Amino acid sequence: MILGVGIDLVEVGRIRDSLERLGERFARRILCPAEYDYCFDHKDPSTHVAARFAAKEAVSKAFGTGIGTEIGWLDIEVVRLDNGSNQVQLHGPGALLFQRRSARIVHLNLTHTAQYASAVAILES
């Protein structure tokens, strides 16, 4: 049974501007350590950071909370698998919220171009 669906669209330029203006402080505030390493291993990390930003927003929307008091940026991690697909790993309050919702899985799909990054998340019981 589907418990929630979330979608988000981010302008890559907005994320690029934030990275240029705020630097590592911005990236470390929204990315888990492995996500940071993955994104900054690319020539232009902006598209990859934007995709993860969109993913975290989409997951929080699937929970029906948004990013805020119940779930934060670092409670949601996008893990890239060897086959190129992504999965969600939840930490701390995110894992507790997952249990409280009696969820079984969070499906995640990401896409990005030079201008936009988008994510769709489905929370399933």
Domain boundaries 2-124, corresponding CATH code:
3.90.470.20
- Please give the mean pLDDT across all residues of the chain: 96
Whether 112 is catalytic: yes
Based on the residue annotation, tell me whether 56 is a catalytic residue of this protein: no
Q: Which is the catalytic residue, given 48, 56, 91, 112? A: 112
Note the pLDDT of residue 100.
95
In this structure, which amino acid lies at residue 2? Answer: I
Catalytic residue among 42, 48, 61, 91: 61
The alpha-helical segments, DSSP class H, found in the chain are 12-22, 24-30, 33-39, 46-63, 93-100
Kindly list the domain boundaries of the chain, sorted by start residue: 2-124
Per-residue pLDDT tens over the stretch 31-87: 999 999 999 999 999 999 999 999 999 999 999 999 998 999 999 999 999 998 999
Contacts of residue 15, defined as CB under 8 A and 6 or more positions apart, other chains included, come to 46, 49, 50, 53, 117
pTM, entire model: 0.95
pLDDT in the model for residue 71: 96
